[in-house]
Chains A and B, each alone.
Chain A
Amino acid sequence: MNCHFVHTHLLFYLDQEISPGEKEGLETHLGQCSSCKSLMEKIKPVYEQAGEPVSPSDGFFERLSSLPPGEKYPVRHSLHFISFVRRIAAVILFMLASTSLTLLYTSGQKQPTQYAGEEPFFERYFHELDEELADNDYYFLTATH
């Protein structure tokens, strides 16, 4: 065993993923090589931090479970705001469109079919906006439930 072996098997030694023979050889080397011994002494406590129990602030889970779930839930303010604005805009556009269509029908000067082309535009606009918002929540793993 040499320094190179220690450098390439350090974490596997700590995780007990090397053979008993390798373990013995590595430990013998640590007894003879002060730089490897010192390295092991530094890295061991650092690596042991992985998976140390962690806890949130006091009462976090209680707060989380007592909050009413649903739209009022206080997360993602920005996205909720966008979606709110989008809905308001959709309502206004719908009202404008229906009012103008009604006027056209009642005046009887023009056929509303001439204006039917307008609707897909708005639909397309909101569809694109939807896609844009969805892109922000890009999922790298396929979400099969």
Chain B
Amino acid sequence: MQAPGELIHALQQGDEKAYATLVKTYGQMVYSTAFGFFNNRTDAEDLTQEVFLEAFHSINKFRGDSSVSTWLYRITVNKSINQLKKNKKREQLSGSLIPGGERTMWGHAKSPDAISENLERRHILHTAMDTLPELQKTAFILHKYDGLPYKEIAQVMNTSLSSVESLIHRAKINLQKKLIHYYTT
């Protein structure tokens, strides 16, 4: 495997093979993070494409102050949050027009259409995660979906270690409340 520094240098030279290596090396990582935000394949794939495109276009701005993975995580998180905001705006505009009550908080989870038990469980978890404030959600995804150590999460989110600890702690408390509420009402 190419060393990250060499890979970046090759990318900055416009080497298309290096682009393929970048995708091969970091594709799964970016995809998993995006999936954490969107909980569906189509959106996660679209976002992954956008992340690599942006990485490629802004490669000359990459000065190596952070690791390649931190840089890519940052692009992924920013793009995911922006996209979720756009989706939310669109949903707010069209929500009242969509029949079937799919917009109610747990609506879809309780529908009989769930393909499998795990799919339904994942939907329940994501519905609860969607209620988390952005920063809590981001820290939780990087921790749980990417298995990043707190120190690296702090680098990605440009914050302190204690902030990350607090964000994840609060995220769990909030998720716990939502899940208990779902199963006891």
A residues contacting B by CB (< 8 A) are 7-8, 10-12, 15, 39, 42-43, 45-47, 49-57, 60-61, 64-66, 68-70, 73, 75-76, 137-145
Contact = CB atoms under 8 A, between A and B. Distances in A.
12 contacts: A10-B176, A49-B118, A49-B125, A51-B146, A57-B45, A65-B19, A66-B20, A75-B49, A75-B53, A76-B50, A141-B157, A144-B158
Query: Which 7 A-B pairs rank lowest in CB-CB distance, beginning with the nearest?
Result: A65-B20, A65-B23, A50-B144, A49-B122, A51-B144, A61-B27, A46-B121
Interface string B143-183: 01111000000000110000000000000110110011001
A45 B53 CA distance: 36
A57 B85 CA distance: 25
A18 to B, nearest CB: 12
Interface of B: 16, 19-20, 23-24, 27-28, 31-32, 35, 41, 44-46, 48-50, 52-53, 56, 58, 61-63, 65-66, 71, 74, 77-78, 81-82, 85, 118, 121-122, 124-125, 134, 140, 144-147, 157-158, 172-173, 175-176, 179-180, 183-184
B44 to A, nearest CB: 7
B32 to A, nearest CB: 6
**Interface SS of chain B: helix, strand, loop or mixed?**
helix
Given A39-B184, A42-B183, A69-B16, A54 B78 contact: no
Contact of B48 (A64, A70, A73, A140): A64
A144 B67 CA distance: 11
B41 A57 contact: yes
Nearest to A57: B41
A96 B169 CA distance: 61
B136 to A, nearest CB: 13
A7 B184 CA distance: 11
Nearest to B18: A69
Given A51-B144, A139-B78, A145 B61 contact: yes
Contacts of A140: 78, 81, 134
Report which residue of B19, B63, B134 has the largest number of chain A beta carbons within 10 angstroms of its beta carbon.
Answer: B19
B144 A8 contact: no
